[in-house]
Amino acid sequence: MSCGISKAGFLEEEVPRLEDWLNKNQHGQMVYMENHFDKRLDPTLLVDDAKSVVSLLLNYYPSDTQISDSFKISKYAYGQDYHFVIKEKLKELLHSIQENIGAVSGRAFVDSAPVLDKAWAAKSGLGWIGKNSNLLTQKVGSFYFIAELILDLELDYDYAVTDHCGNCTACIDACPTEAIIEPYKVNGSKCISYYTIELKDNLPMEMKGSFDDWAFGCDICQDVCPWNRFSKPHKEPLFNPNPDLLSLTKKDWEEITEETFKVVFKNSPIKRTKFSGLKRNIDFLK
């Protein structure tokens, strides 16, 4: 786990980016992104008397991946739902801070409230926002969950690091749906992850054949990123996959039953799509 700290305050530089993204409807059906605009930009509206944003990264890069003859799921979804795993760790950290320092108030956030995770992590010096809009690090790539503790405690603050994408366009060139419309700008409504997880309607037929066998999420722009050559396997047992997952063939996926789905993906982020959503995605890939 990596940790960086920023002074809590209004993210003025993020305002035009977020406004432009929403105005161009690049969030698609993710209407929740339209809510709590001010809170998204100002953590002091989420935690009374907030002074510091403690950003944390937790590696989820697996030691083993799916077999080649398989419909693919994002590596972050191999194990148990990260929301619950990380929330427990953050609660322990907050409790430890309170035990050692005294009366400290704060809240833990794991992709579950209007917090601009990547912006705060970058501001805290944990990495830079890459051309694929993910947080990149020089030492370990980008296969990381991002979480925060927002505290009413003044701390020593870290500084942002420089961008190290250079002239590389690997992520832009590799995206099969052209969701990365230009460096550092992603049209979320064209992303395979959006289609396979967020979109509740039928998948658009004009996209058939362009999902590259991804049934849940997509890792293409991370897999091709040169910085992910430095990714190291995580050490969190709860992120380890059900052994049956990695060996599922395309035929197994096509024949999966709801009972098998419940066993293999118990406590998994994949449950977000429900069995019906996963079947829709697999049928689209055939």
Catalytic residue ranges:
111
Please name which of 85, 84, 65 lies closest in space to residue 75, comparing C-alpha atoms. Answer: 65
C-alpha 229: how far from chain center: 19
* Inter-residue contact 127 to 158 (CB < 8 Å): no
38 Cβ neighbours under 8 A, 6+ residues apart: 45
- How many angstroms separate the first and last alpha carbons of the chain? 39
* Inter-residue contact 117 to 158 (CB < 8 Å): no
Half-sphere exposure in the Cβ direction for 66 (13 Å, CA)? 23
Q: Dihedral sign for Cα 240, 246, 248, 254, please.
A: positive
* Inter-residue contact 183 to 131 (CB < 8 Å): yes
Using a 10 angstrom Cβ sphere, with 0-12 exposed, 13-18 middle and 19 or more buried, the burial of residue 182 is: exposed
* Inter-residue contact 63 to 13 (CB < 8 Å): no
What is the torsion angle, in degrees rounded to the nearest 10, for the CA atoms of residue 135, residue 180, residue 10 and residue 58?
-20
Rounded (5°) CA angle 156-160-165: 155
